[in-house]
A and B are shown apart, each in its own frame.
Chain A
Amino acid sequence: MVGFLIGRILRVVPTVLGITLVTFTLVRLIPGDPVVAMMGETGLNAVGRERALAMLGLDRPLHEQYLIYLGNILRGDFSRSIGTSESVLKEFLALLPATLELGTAALLLALLVGIPAGVIAAVKRGSLVDHATIVAALSGYSMPVFWWGLLLILLFSGTLGWTPVSGRLGVQFYFEPITGFHLIDSLLVDEPGALTSAVRHVILPAIVLATFPLAVIARMTRSSMLEVLNDDYVRTARAKGLPGWRVVNVHALRNALIPVITVIGLQISVLVTGAVMTETIFSWPGVGKWLLEGVYRRDYPVVQGGVLLLALMVVAVNLLVDLLYGVVNPRIRHAR
């Protein structure tokens, strides 16, 4: 068990190093003078330029620059934003709860709708429900996320007027972050109406972000369930005279969920990508929107640090899923 854990963790190291190499190279690949790109065209003379190069550490050989970059990251120094002069890590951490809140809401939605939909479709194979699930999943799979968001805004914010168009919370509410999750904080502080406001703000972005993972999870659950339902042990369970719901939900579903867990792990990366789009559409103040604004402003430290931090997060979550998977499923743990 310990060997399995250590092996899996060690396998991540080259990937992490590779990612830092990519983000390091990123800034050096930008066409044009790095000093001008970083400091702006302020009419630097030759001496000033030398000094700027030295200040940015760009006068050293490349491999030395990379080692310095790595050292800085290990010390938690992800450089500073050009726009705000604020530490990139600090900005990232301040916005992260908003993204996590949205991502968690979306993932829960995808699981709570996707798994039951897949199970029902598989059990009632060939029925109207099954066909509806297949078509819905295929549409969700093919949906341009940004358009879907605009359509929902059009319907629920425009025509029906049920939900706000953007933001996380009504402007009349303010409270110091406790957990950073508005849905939880609004329960903890005594602000009547704040929770309702937070829920109404999060619901559309969560639906939009959940659509793709939901479709994938429903599809996977259905096909995995169909396979398991034909297995001998399911027939045995039925033959024993167990009630149908028990056979499906206890005997079959447990085994059918193993491949689904893998797919859920893969969705973390999809959620991060989706967060960039969703946060932009709904002006959700999270890291995705912040990163994209960094791209627009050509704020390279923000882009470099933001991409690195998000990628590290994805790697960490995937590792965690991998480890949990090994703990849950002994077959994985003992394979090689």
Chain B
Amino acid sequence: MRAEPDVAAMSDAAAQSPARAFLYAFLRHKGAVVGLGVLVLVVLAAIFADVVAPHAPGQQFRDSVLQPPAWTARGSWTFPLGTDPIGRDILSRVIHGARFSLLIAIGVVALSLVAGITIGAIAGFAGGLVDLAAARLMDVLLALPGLLLAIIVVAILGPGMDNAVIAISIVFLPHIVRIARAAVLVELSKTYVAATRLAGAKPVFLLFDTILPNCMAPLLVQAALCFSGAILEAAALGFLGLGAQPPTPEWGTMLADSREFVLRAWWVVTFPGLAILIVVLALNVLGDGLRDALDPRLRRS
């Protein structure tokens, strides 16, 4: 019933410009808009963590160890989400934790995108032996289950946040390479590429300046999915003691720290995990919305 005018407006928008059509399709995806909203809040919380958080993340209140959240009988509003086993404010640590999770995810997405696009684009562009070698290498990486691969890399490089970023990037690399390669192959067969080639463009210019900008849509969607995946994997590595090390208020590390208190103090494990779930959920919904909006074939009319 309400769909009728929307369809008309949509074809109008589509006729005007691709950017408006994208925006229109994106805004129609209510979940994606909510996801974006949540994400903006989390980013703001991460940037202004020092202002927003009621306490410093490492400050220990020895008189209030394992204090439950404010709304329970023994709680107080000094520590809205309660305190952990050594008396640190959980809300402050969760807020500061957003920084680490986002930084790790940004690092992973940047690293795997740059490396993956370079390898994938060159493989697709060059073809032949180069392509075959890249494809085989990626097959091998894909055959190793994700977290297992990350654990191996950390086992070699040693635990820590930097190495976790490298490890997770390697896990995501084959997916990016495949998408970049496929996108380049599709573009290569188009006439504008032939035209640029005939005009005498050098291969490097042709690939990075002419072809790649047209391959961005699927890569952008994959980047959004990698972002949420990176947060999950980073938290998993942190939980296993192979990622960020205590006392860093990284969400996975916080869970590992308080794991043994799970049966005595539910709040110490509940909130860091809830933060992970909310951010990953927001990113996944956002990724779905981006995909629907960027891929005209999937756009709902």
Contacts and interface: CB of A to CB of B under 8 A. Distances in A.
A270 interface: yes
A158 B151 contact: no
A96 to B, nearest CB: 15
A141 B262 CA distance: 23
Interface string A18-47: 110110001001110000000000000000
A144 B240 contact: no
A310 B273 CA distance: 28
Interface in A108-159: 138-139, 141-148, 150-151, 153-154, 157-158
Contacts of B263: 153-154, 157-158, 165
Contacts of B139: 14-15, 18
A303 interface: yes
Contact of B236 (A146, A269, A307, A314): A146
Contacts of A307: 144, 148, 152
Contact of B144 (A19, A158, A291): A19
B156 A30 contact: yes
Contact of B255 (A31, A147, A154, A296): A147
B148 A272 contact: yes
Given A142-B281, A144-B232, A273 B145 contact: yes
B242 A295 contact: yes
B280 A144 contact: yes
Contact of A280 (B148, B232, B240): B240
Interface string B276-289: 11001101110000
| Chain B: interface size category | 35 or more
Given A19-B143, A292-B240, A147 B151 contact: no
A276 interface: yes
Interface in A289-336: 291-292, 295-296, 298, 303, 307, 310-311, 314-315, 318
B266 A154 contact: yes
Interface string B244-283: 0000000010010001001100100110110011001101
Interface residues on A, range: 35 or more
Contact of B152 (A26, A158, A314): A26
B136 A18 contact: yes
B267 to A, nearest CB: 10
Interface in B103-161: 136-137, 139-140, 143-148, 151-152, 154-156, 158
Q: What's the dominant secondary structure at chain A's contact region?
A: helix
A98 interface: no
A202 interface: no
B281 A139 contact: yes
A277 interface: yes
B222 interface: no
B262 A147 contact: no
Residue of B136, B144, B252, B277 ringed by the most chain A CB atoms within 10 A = B144
A101 to B, nearest CB: 19
Contact of A147 (B147, B241, B273): B273
B277 A139 contact: yes
B236 A138 contact: no
B235 interface: yes
Contacts of B147: 273, 276-277
B169 interface: no
Given A26-B156, A150-B269, A18 B280 contact: no
B239 interface: yes
A102 B188 CA distance: 47
Contacts of B143: 15, 18-19, 311, 314-315, 318
B147 to A, nearest CB: 4
B27 to A, nearest CB: 19
Contacts of B83: none
B67 interface: no
B140 A292 contact: no
Contacts of A150: 255, 259, 262, 269, 273
Interface in A144-200: 144-148, 150-151, 153-154, 157-158, 165
B228 interface: yes
Contact of A310 (B140, B145, B255, B277): B145
Nearest to B288: A138
Contacts of A303: 152, 155
B31 to A, nearest CB: 8
B265 to A, nearest CB: 10
Contacts of B137: 18
A167 to B, nearest CB: 16
B72 to A, nearest CB: 14
Nearest to A306: B148
Contact of B148 (A21, A158, A273): A273
A269 B276 contact: no
A151 B270 contact: yes
A153 B269 CA distance: 11
Nearest to B155: A295
A145 B158 CA distance: 23
A232 B284 CA distance: 33
A21 B269 CA distance: 40
List the 9 closest A-B pairs by CB distance, nearest first. A147-B273, A18-B140, A142-B280, A273-B147, A142-B281, A273-B145, A269-B145, A158-B263, A272-B145
16 contacts: A15-B139, A18-B140, A22-B140, A29-B156, A138-B285, A139-B277, A144-B235, A146-B255, A148-B273, A154-B262, A165-B263, A269-B145, A270-B145, A295-B154, A311-B145, A314-B143
Given A157-B263, A295-B151, 6 more contacts: A18-B137, A26-B156, A147-B273, A295-B154, A303-B152, A314-B144
